[in-house]
Structure 1
Amino acid sequence: MANPSKAKGTAWESLVVGYLRERHNPGAHRNVQMGVKDIGDIDGYYLHALEAKAEKSITLSDYIAQANREAVNAGKPFGCAVVKRRMKGVADGYVVRDVRTDVRLLNRLRDMEEALMDADFDRWFDIDEEHREAA
């Protein structure tokens, strides 16, 4: 690849996809760029349009604005950026979203947990216990 910055970004996207496939969603994949109607760099991060960033100068406001636009284009309720941390691997990178998006996400999580608790408390308890053990 002639552009070293593009190669670095592509490598980061591929690492993020590999991490997601192993730990979150085996169907995660890099998206084809769509220009003005871009839908994010990676599909398969549940409910999110994901923008992967591996840049020397980090500009969170630009990343979040882009992720939020691309979430709309992708028909996803949430946008986020996965930002590479210098000299670290994927697990040590940062998932970034604005407070508005984070509150909407947590409200949805809260409401869904309450609904599951009402519908099937034993199932909710088992899932809760499983995730507490994984932390």
Structure 2
Amino acid sequence: MANPSKAKGTAWESLILGYLREHHNPGAHRNVQMGAKDIGDIAGYYLHAVEAKAEKTITLSDYIAQANREAVNAGQPFGCAVVKRRMKGVADGYVVRDLATDVRLVNRLRVMEEALQDESFDRWSDIDAELREAA
């Protein structure tokens, strides 16, 4: 690849994709670039449009604005940027979103957990215990 920055970005996307496939969704995949109606770099991170960034100078406001636009284009409720952390592996990358997006995400999680508790408290309790052990 003639452009070293593009090669670095592609390598970062590939690392994120491998991580998501192993730990989250085997069906995750890289998106084809859509120009003005771009839908993010990676699909398959549940409910999110993912913008992958591996740059020396980090500009969070630009990344979040881009991720939020691409979430709208992708029909996803949430956008996030996955930013490479210097000298660290993919699992140490930063997942970044603005507070408004994070509050919407956490509110959704809270509402869904409350619904599961109401429907089947024993099931919720088992899942909660399993996830706490995994953390």
| TM-score, length basis structure 2 | 0.99
* 1:112 shift after superposition: 0.2
* 1:70 shift after superposition: 0.2
* 1:122 shift after superposition: 1.0
* Counterpart secondary structure, 1:95: strand
How far apart in 2 are the matches of 1:124 and 1:35? Answer: 42
**Count of aligned pairs between the two proteins:** 135
Specify every segment of 5 or more residues in structure 1 that has no aligned partner in the other structure, as ranges.
none
The aligned counterpart of 2:10 is: 10
How far apart in 2 are the matches of 1:45 and 1:31? Answer: 12
The aligned counterpart of 1:119 is: 119
* 1:126 shift after superposition: 1.0
The aligned counterpart of 1:21 is: 21
The aligned counterpart of 1:36 is: 36
* 1:11 shift after superposition: 0.2
How far apart in 2 are the matches of 1:127 and 1:38? Answer: 36
The aligned counterpart of 1:77 is: 77
How far apart in 1 are the matches of 2:84 and 2:25? Answer: 20
**RMSD after superposition:** 0.4
Q: Percent identity?
A: 87
Specify every segment of 5 or more residues in structure 2 that has no aligned partner in the other structure, as ranges.
none
* Counterpart secondary structure, 1:49: strand
How far apart in 2 are the matches of 1:93 and 1:31? Answer: 20
